[in-house]
Structure 1
Amino acid sequence: MLTSPNIGYFPTCDGHQLYWERHGTPGTEPVFFLHGGPGGRSSRHHLEFFDLCCFDIILFDQRGGGRSMPQGQLQHNNTGQCVEDIDALRRYFGFQKISLLGVSWGSWLAIQYQQRYPDALLKTTLVSVFVPFAQNVRAYDKTLSDALAGPRARSIYQILNNGCEAQQRQAAIGWLKAILKLNGQSMDPSALEHFADQEAVRAIRLELHYHVNHYFFTHTDEGLVVDANTEVIQGTKDRFGMASLRWLRQRQSIRCRLLHAGHNAFDRAIVKTVRHSLKRGCGTNKKRLPKVQ
């Protein structure tokens, strides 16, 4: 097992630098962790989902997010390019096949990866699933707009792109309050002011870049088929996650574990279930896995 993580940057062909970390035990089952967002980042806390002795874990920050550079970059940043990044990293690390753990927005990237690279997959675990089909995005947008009690998401996005620094900070604070309200959470006003720095502004602008573009959902996505070796772990109190799960189940039978939880993937019950789910079929993956030649 790695006593300290390997860390680096992967250059894409179109100007992005993807920050990555490698944890766990090389030669065991490789798992790529796909964080939430868009505009989110990976964290060492995400290692709570894994038994480090059983998996070769790749954490990375998606385009424009976290420590990837340029931070908050909107150019060459869409769903398809994020999916291509996953496979570019797979080849960079020399893995023939990988497993995916996708949380929230990351669950949609995992589903998209299945459509493009089915032969490169071992298994997929989707947590607090999010599918940006039109009805779900409209409902999400309306809920957030009601919580904003003022400008809609598109107006916030315009301010974050064109407003002065003070206007951007206030718009970011308004957006954060709406997200917290949606998730039944709150934050001390002074802590919220401190949190809404320029890094947060860039992250929210990137999130809204995807939101106002309907997460680049296409007509082709309406007919997608989820890989058979997929398991969904979903909180029943997560309104948009449950809507996403119903959308998936209308298209095919899908294995799912429903928990009395919300959207927060760090809920104790969710973390415990994810750790158990990831080990399904682990007995067949004890041997060292082949690499790309």
Structure 2
Amino acid sequence: MQILFPAIKPYARHSLAVEQPHVLYLDESGRQDGLPVVFLHGGPGAGCDAASRRWFDPNLYRIITFDQRGCGRSTPHAELQNNNTWQLVDDLERIREYLGVEQWLVFGGSWGSTLALAYAQTHPERVLGLILRGIFLCREEEIHWFYQQGASRIFPDYWEDYLAPIPPKEQGDMLGAYYQRLTGSDQIAQLHAAKAWASWEGRTATLRPNPAFVTRFSETQRALALARIECHYFMHGAFLEDNQLLKHMPKIAHIPGIIVHGRYDLICPLQNAWSLHQAWPASELQIIREAGHSAAEPGITDALIRATCQMARKLLKRPPQEEA
């Protein structure tokens, strides 16, 4: 089993102003002349952390991580104004140009896979390859499955806690009811809703219960950004046309990709990854047994580390080394 690379510190940190009022936090670590890779976090709204740069061999990669609009160390916190998928795609191009990167590998999980596909389909000439985990295509049925009916039947106990902030008469439209509270002026109701939303996601992300994972998701500031930004995006269909990402796969059919997906992922069911793989001739699909959605699942961690090493060998054209 492969594990994360040792912790490292960034060699550079940047603040990049984009459309008002947003200022993005980004950092670089690893090898300054290495293979450029950009890490796209989930959510939208989850933000990066110290582990985000540990998926990549620092002796091979120039590792670029950043917090998307409204979350993590980007400011203002939990801001919804000028915050949509296509503005995030534009941000990636701003970051690439700002850092003087010609082409890069794009690595993203969950919502990060959505954004990676949207970016690659918009700027295919800039993408060397894709490593995607926990595929989320942001189709209406996927959003309905997790936030209205579907996953609720697998986790009825956790679902009760997700229902708790919403009166029964509003439960026919959970997304709309949460949106009303998360964007309302009642700060107590907003925080209560944010914690319930984030806890639902945290409790269902792993195959086996992981209390530390749930605690991290439920931390107040993180939960507020995650819940507000996710709900904002999903109320607007992630600002995508119906089934857009699959329809536009011919634009990037030639780009090499590795897809890693847990067989028992109940946030983003395996059918998402299967459909993407069928539409992407240059992709390799790895279905991980005994794994759910989280990148922290041991089998998924192992597969992703192997994928970043494999992709480095391919793109740098180096012979394979014996793996531990």
Same fold (TM over 0.5): yes
Partner of 1:48: 54
Partner of 1:149: 163
Partner of 2:310: 280
> For this pair of structures, how many residues does the alignment match?
284
1:223 to 230, 247, 250: 247
2:17 to 11, 21, 26: 11
Deviations 1:206-245 (A, max 9, x none): 1111121121121444511144311101111113241211
Q: Take 2:29 and 2:269, find their aligned partners in 1: how far apart are those partners?
A: 29
Report the CA distance shift for 1:193/1:270 in structure 2 as closer, same or farther (over 3 A): closer
Q: Which amino acid aligns with 2:301?
A: V
Residue 283 of structure 1, CA deviation: 4.0
Deviations 1:171-208 (A, max 9, x none): 223223322343364659xx969955355324311111
2:99 to 78, 90, 93: 93
Report the CA distance shift for 1:14/1:186 in structure 2 as closer, same or farther (over 3 A): same
Give the SS at the match of 1:280: helix
Partner of 1:176: 198
Could you tell me the TM-score, scaled by structure 2's length? 0.80
In structure 1, stretches of 5+ residues that fail to align are: 288-293
2:232 to 209, 224, 243: 209
Deviations 1:245-293 (A, max 9, x none): 1331443443111111110102222222212211235346559xxxxxx
CA RMSD in angstroms comes to 2.6
Give the SS at the match of 1:162: coil
Q: Which amino acid aligns with 1:268?
A: P
Partner of 1:290: none
After TM superposition, list the pairs within 5 Å mapping 1:213-292 onto structure 2: 213-219=236-242, 220-225=244-249, 226-227=252-253, 228-239=255-266, 240-253=268-281, 254-260=283-289, 261-283=291-313, 285-286=315-316
Partner of 1:122: 128
* Seq. identity, %: 26
Deviations 1:144-170 (A, max 9, x none): 776123531321221121142222222
Partner of 1:58: 64
Contact 2:277 2:285 in 1 (8 A): no
In structure 2, stretches of 5+ residues that fail to align are: 1-7, 167-173, 318-324
| 1:162 is aligned to 2:184 | yes
Contact 1:34 1:60 in 2 (8 A): yes
Q: Which moved more, 1:252-261 or 1:63-72?
A: 252-261
Deviations 1:91-126 (A, max 9, x none): 111011110111110011111111111111111100
Give the SS at the match of 1:126: strand
Q: Which moved more, 1:235-244 or 1:90-99?
A: 235-244
